[in-house]
Amino acid sequence: MTEVKSVTLKQKFWKRKKEKSLKSSIFEYFCQLFPGNAYQEDSILKQKLVLAIEGTIWCLQIISLLWVPDLPIKNWSKNNTLWKIIGYLKFDNACSAAGIIEECFLAIIIFTYTSFIIIAISIIAIYYSYSLPSYAFKVFRGFIYIWANFFLVPTVELLSIFLKYNFLPHDKISEYDTDGQLSDFYVNFGCKIVIIVGLMIGFVMILFYTEFAAEIRHSEIKTTLNAKAHSKIDYHIAIFTYFFPITYAVFAENYIIYLQISAIIFSGFLIKEAIIFLPYFSYFGNTTIILKLSCIVVISFIFILGSLMDNSLAISILAVFIVPSLAIFIVQFSCKLQIKSSKIIPKDLKCIDSQYELEKSVRHEMCSGNIEYKDEIIQIFENFFIEKRLNGSKLQAIWAANYCFYTLKDESLAKIKLAKSKIFLILA
């Protein structure tokens, strides 16, 4: 009986594989499971709201790793309520305040391993051609979305801190200011293995999320704010978000100023990428990503100045006015820079041999309201589709749709049909 069942499964597998490769099936499923935005099909206003909330929480979580409440600054201690509110944006800090930090650790472990189990279940279901119920898929998708956007920083931070105290036991966990050492249940060889595996799962999960979130933006979304031409900056932000809490867990006790300097350097590097590539096709999207990165740079710089200045009010005023002003200036400057550096010359378009060059050629149209080259732009995309240039990338269709939707303000033109083997730009 076992042999017959084995043969049946094997035949079933090869039959399914003949219809569609396992790799292709998993890839298509993951593109749906790892959404770039949980509200990608909703209104533009709702997308803006979600994008702003995601960016704000990410920014505050990173900032909460950069400040110390006992800085020797005049009236600094009077802001303890503000510091606590910022700290509570992280799940681990809220648990510490409630006196359940060890229970929080167990919850994080369960949360992280559950993400891995979801992936395993999904792959097994695809392997045996089993369609998951729609409600299960929605639960899986929402779970991973929440983990990747709101729980990555506290997960990595808490696991790193517990791993540190597994190797270097202290009288108390100074990061959370809790009395007493960790119980023996949390300080043993088995716990070390569980934490290390959890950190590895977290790293793989965030890379998966970044890769497939970018892919779904490129291949399926028509007019979303998350449509991007370049996902490289996504990887760099993901790596920064993952390793910065680890750096905090290792060095924060004695080297907080070096942590702040590191934040300035890496965030500055990311801002440079954002200026060069303008990764979002909308002004709001570019403003959001540059604003949150600029916020990290400026706040870190202000905290460093805090060691030299003795006036917390002056520091607060600097933070409130400099951060948004700097971000808006950078976005405007980068848009103008792109407009000046790349004008459309139709006769030169035949020389374009890369997607970046094509995108750069029409970038100024997406950053301005100029419709002088409207007919030329649409003709360019149609020619690229017909000639199947640049390997027939579906991303070209996304660019065309965004140009029609955002620049020409014509939803009737912003329609594309993405088939498995062909791409069509449907013009009204």
Interatomic CA distance for residues 423 and 220, integer angstroms? 12
Residue 286 lies in a domain: yes
Interatomic CA distance for residues 218 and 31, integer angstroms? 10
pTM for the whole thing? Answer: 0.68
Interatomic CA distance for residues 386 and 344, integer angstroms? 20
Question: Strands, E, within 220-269: which ranges?
Answer: none
Residue 5 lies in a domain: no
Give the number of other Cβ atoms within 10 Å of residue 78's Cβ.
9
In the predicted structure, residue 273 carries a pLDDT above the cut 60: yes
Domain that holds residue 335: 21-340
Residue 113 lies in a domain: yes
Q: Are residues 281 and 358 in the same domain?
A: no
- pLDDT tens, 387-421? 555 455 555 666 666 666 656 666 566 555 444 44
Q: Are residues 280 and 372 in the same domain?
A: no
What confidence category does residue 131 fall into, taking pLDDT thresholds of 50, 70 and 90?
confident
Residue 203 lies in a domain: yes
Q: Are residues 332 and 381 in the same domain?
A: no
Q: Is the model more confident about 323 or about 120?
A: 120
Is 405 in contact with 414 (CB distance < 8 Å)? Answer: yes
Q: Are residues 391 and 268 in the same domain?
A: no
Q: Are residues 40 and 61 in the same domain?
A: yes
Q: Give the pLDDT score at 169.
A: 65
Q: Give the pLDDT score at 204.
A: 84
Among the three residues 316, 340, 364, which one is the final residue of a domain in this structure? 340
Q: Are residues 336 and 348 in the same domain?
A: no
Interatomic CA distance for residues 314 and 304, integer angstroms? 13
Residue 7 lies in a domain: no
Q: What is the mean pLDDT of the chain?
A: 68
Among the three residues 340, 361, 382, which one is the final residue of a domain in this structure? 340
Among the three residues 320, 340, 360, which one is the final residue of a domain in this structure? 340
Residue 16 lies in a domain: no
Q: Are residues 135 and 184 in the same domain?
A: yes
In the predicted structure, residue 200 carries a pLDDT above the cut 50: yes
Q: Are residues 131 and 250 in the same domain?
A: yes
Query: 285, exposed or middle or buried, with CB in 10 Å at 0-12, 13-18, 19+?
Result: buried
Q: Are residues 301 and 404 in the same domain?
A: no
Residue 4 lies in a domain: no
Interatomic CA distance for residues 339 and 227, integer angstroms? 20
Q: Are residues 63 and 211 in the same domain?
A: yes
- pLDDT tens, 303-317? 777 666 666 666 667
Please provide the DSSP assignment of 241-252 as one string.
HHHHHHHHHHHT
Residue 15 lies in a domain: no
Q: Are residues 310 and 359 in the same domain?
A: no
- pLDDT tens, 215-244? 444 444 334 444 444 557 777 888 888 998
Q: Give the pLDDT score at 134.
A: 75
Give the number of other Cβ atoms within 10 Å of residue 74's Cβ.
13
Q: Which residues of 81-116 are buried (b: 16+ CB within 10 A; e: fewer)?
A: eeeeebbbbbbbbbbbeeeebbebbebbbebbeebb
- pLDDT tens, 8-63? 443 444 444 444 566 666 666 666 666 554 445 556 677 778 778 888 888 888 88
Q: Are residues 336 and 350 in the same domain?
A: no
Q: Is the model more confident about 376 or about 222?
A: 376
The domain total for the chain is 2
